[in-house]
Amino acid sequence: MLVNGNEILLKAREEHYGVGAFNVNDYGAVEAILGAAEETRTPVIIQIGDWTDPNAAESKAKNPWDAKMFMNFVRYRADISPVPVCIHLDHCRTYEGCIRSIKLGATSVMIDASMCSFEENIAITKKVIEAARGCGVTVEAEIGHVDGHAGDTTGKLYTTVDEAVRFYEETKVDSLAVAIGTVHGIYAEEPVLQYDRIAELRDAIPAPLVMHGASGLNAEQYKKCVERGITKINFATYMQLAGADAIEKMVDANRAAGERSRFQALYSAGVAGMRAIVKEHIGYFQTKSI
Ligand SMILES: [Zn+2]
């Protein structure tokens, strides 16, 4: 069933478990994520991009499907699922992008103004919240900054408790992405995670905490983050790699046997590879069954 972010995350925060938020750009990824969630009977968050952003040069290349058609599929598929499914817009830099996605059917949006000044971040977050609340849509914001490529281990980009409290009091945001040592993409070096900071942030504000850049951590690291108070865990990169690995493996095996590969078999193998890693991580995040 289709739900908003709060319907999944508030319960998870209360009962101390994590929920995975997995990114999709194609039909197979949707099937992989929901297949894993339905098998484990756990709530799940599907993350979409702002595909209709006219300013994003790569938006068409990233998603060749017509955005409306694809979102109709995601919404329908989520709606008929026996588990709670939230459709969340990941990293949107603009108010307009959030509105576009709400119009297309997202039940949760992230306004990411973490690159702007603290005051600007508060102002645009409040604006998005005002529009979203009227539609029953929940809002995630980010303070501190989760870098894209290299880890910052000096501590200067980590979210402070003071910032989080001030941001929450001013905005009453539904969930908050915090910088606690993870980075987006593939880790160049071992991340230094601030476990104590997670616990301090959780105690300081009632909004569920979100961890971005969660690909590549180990089971123990996920466990510690969730125990300290991370509720939503964004996971994308390794899911993409797992799907591609499964396809490569099948191609290699077919070649070794002197056989040609068929698209349907490769596609199914890719989806199965993604589904397996999603299921594995639902376990690491300790997501509770419904
Ligand atoms: Zn992110």
Please write the tens of the pLDDT for every residue from 39-89. 999 999 999 988 777 766 655 555 666 888 899 999 999 999 999 999 999
Please write the tens of the pLDDT for every residue from 240-282. 999 999 999 999 999 999 999 999 999 999 999 999 999 999 9
Name the class of domain 2-284: alpha beta
CB 169 within 8 A of CB 201: no
Q: Any idea where the domains of the chain sit in the sequence?
A: 2-284
Backbone phi, psi, residue 210, to 5°:
-115, 135
CB 285 within 8 A of CB 18: yes
Copy the structure tokens of residue 194: 């601030």
- CA of 123 from ligand 1 middle (Å) equals 21
Going by C-alpha positions, the residue among 196, 199, 220 that lies closest to residue 209 is 199
| Contacts with 29 (C-beta within 8 Å, 6 or more apart), sequence order | 22, 23, 239, 243, 271, 274
**Distance from C-alpha of 227 to C-alpha of 231, rounded to nearest angstrom:** 9
- CA of 264 from ligand 1 middle (Å) equals 31
| Contacts with 56 (C-beta within 8 Å, 6 or more apart), sequence order | 50
Residue 96, pLDDT above cutoff 50: yes
- CA of 230 from ligand 1 middle (Å) equals 14
Which of 26, 53, 79, 90 is catalytic? The answer is 90
203 in active site = no
Going by C-alpha positions, the residue among 38, 39, 58 that lies closest to residue 49 is 58
- CA of 156 from ligand 1 middle (Å) equals 18
Q: What is the dihedral of CA 24, 26, 32, 38, to 10 degrees?
A: 70
- CA of 75 from ligand 1 middle (Å) equals 22
